[in-house]
Amino acid sequence: MSDLDAAAVSELSERARKLDAADELAYLRDRFVLDDTVYLDGNSLGALPAHVPDRVADVVRREWGELRIRSWEESGWWTAPERIGDRIAPLVGAAPGQIVVGDSTSVNVFKALVAAVRLAREGGPAGAGRDEIVVDASTFPTDGYIAESAARLTGCTLRPVLPAEVPGVLGERTAAVLLNHVDYRTGRLHDLPSLTAAVHAAGAVAVWDLCHSAGALPVGLDEHDVDLAVGCTYKYLNGGPGSPAYLYVRRELQSRFDSPLPGWNSHAEPFGMRSEYAPAEGAVRGRVGTPDILSMLALEAALDVWDGVSVDAVRAKSLALTDFFLECVREYVPEGRVVPVTPVAHAERGSQVALRCGDAGEVMRRLIARGVVGDYRAPDILRFGFTPLYVGFADVERAARVLAETLRES
């Protein structure tokens, strides 16, 4: 058993109870399938919304099983990528008609980055000389790998720098800049408005990866003039394992968006079966091939949980949850045993808390065995994601308490 300070446990448990009682989003937890584990891994795979299995069963049994090919039209399969894009749009601050759903984030990073270089090179000799892609040096690896390949294909040099150093390296050679809104490892939130403005001031094109921010905090794509953005839907958007990603193309850029993967789904007349390619108008240009309908319609159903939910309220609760977790960790965990690497400042914090811990892999294994599910990122990071739609303050207190107990044993 723990030898935690009983008074501290009692005080923080009571605070958690009051915070849960006052939580205006608490009712949303019932929209998900959860058990008595504390699930703090929604930043990796979001929980299952309770109504999704029935919807998927209907898609399989009726739309596929009975209507078969008719469903492309009658069940709206063909237009699902744009329709679901419009459901995601308000969650990332985009007006309709700018997001298309499909493919993985990795594939969308490729489309966006190559298209960004092509956009930057328009407009005469000044544009043509742009031969550098700047990438976040601390990025989730796939973005870095894809950026390296995009650079080779476009004859650019890849320049990996930390986000804080980006303004200092921008110049007339910069074509495109690929940044993560929230760092997957540390949970640091980068300054999207000012970095985007700096990229534009240099005449370059900004591409943002929203995997760890969409559904957890306001993004403001339109408001901040973001050019292109990508993101996954299986984290805070709860779309399910491997659910399709999305691509945002700002309206003013759509007519010039030149996809490096111009599949037939992005053709102006896909059923014209023409040998010459002519791109469709609008965000549809970001489509490639036949959409993965089962995953896509599971995602569409999952987005129902957002009906009536404000992203600002989600952000407020996310900050309250992460504040409370940091406080409980400070109170319970033996001094020096873990070091928070997530910024304390709200303006720099996403919806996760990362703790540096020597034996992080083993500690997380034991935490999971005790019903507190976070994850571990090599070499030494314990990651705890807080999905405001279904995580409560009692969960937070319990996670910190079990973490402290686990650490005291080792």
Ligand X SMILES: Cc1ncc(COP(=O)(O)O)c(C=O)c1O
Q: Which residues are catalytic?
A: 140, 209, 234-235, 383
Which residue stretches of 253-359 are H helix? 293-302, 311-332
The alpha carbon dihedral of 190, 225, 130, 172 has a sign of: negative
Report the C-alpha gap between 237 and 41 in whole angstroms.
Answer: 13
Residues 16-55, interacting with ligand X (CB under 6 A)? none
Task: Render 369-405 in DSSP notation, one character per residue.
Answer: HTTEE-EEETTTEEEEE--TTT--HHHHHHHHHHHHH
Least Å distance, CB 150 to ligand X, is 14
Antiparallel, parallel or unpaired: β 174-180 and 205-209: parallel
| Gap between the terminal Cα atoms of the chain | 13
Judged by CB under 6 A, which stretch of 48-56, 71-79, 92-100, 208-216 contacts ligand X? 208-216
Q: Which is nearer to ligand X, 2 or 104 (CB)?
A: 104
390 contributes a contact to ligand X by CB under 6 A: no
Q: In sequence order, which residues have a C-beta less than 8 Å from that of residue 70 and are 6 or more positions away?
A: none
Least Å distance, CB 273 to ligand X, is 30
Tokens 């309206």 found at = 251
Judged by CB under 6 A, which stretch of 50-58, 195-203, 206-214, 329-337 contacts ligand X? 206-214
- Pick from 245, 297, 338, 354: which binds ligand X (CB under 6 A)? 245
209 contributes a contact to ligand X by CB under 6 A: yes
Sheet with 375-377: list strands edge to edge: 339-340, 352-356, 381-385, 375-377
104 contributes a contact to ligand X by CB under 6 A: yes
- Pick from 142, 148, 158, 261: which binds ligand X (CB under 6 A)? 142
The alpha carbon dihedral of 62, 64, 70, 71 has a sign of: positive
232 contributes a contact to ligand X by CB under 6 A: yes
184 contributes a contact to ligand X by CB under 6 A: yes
Report the C-alpha gap between 354 and 138 in whole angstroms.
Answer: 15
375 contributes a contact to ligand X by CB under 6 A: no
- Pick from 71, 98, 105, 186: which binds ligand X (CB under 6 A)? 105
77 contributes a contact to ligand X by CB under 6 A: no
63 contributes a contact to ligand X by CB under 6 A: no
- Pick from 37, 75, 106, 138: which binds ligand X (CB under 6 A)? 106
352 contributes a contact to ligand X by CB under 6 A: no
Angle between helices 311-332 and 6-22 (to 10 degrees): 170
Q: Are 133 and 156 in contact (CB under 8 A)?
A: yes
Least Å distance, CB 40 to ligand X, is 15
> Residues interacting with ligand X, by CB under 6 A?
104-106, 140, 142-143, 180, 184, 209, 211-212, 232, 245
Q: Annotated binding residues for pyridoxal 5'-phosphate, as ranges?
A: 105-106, 140-143, 209, 212, 234, 264, 290
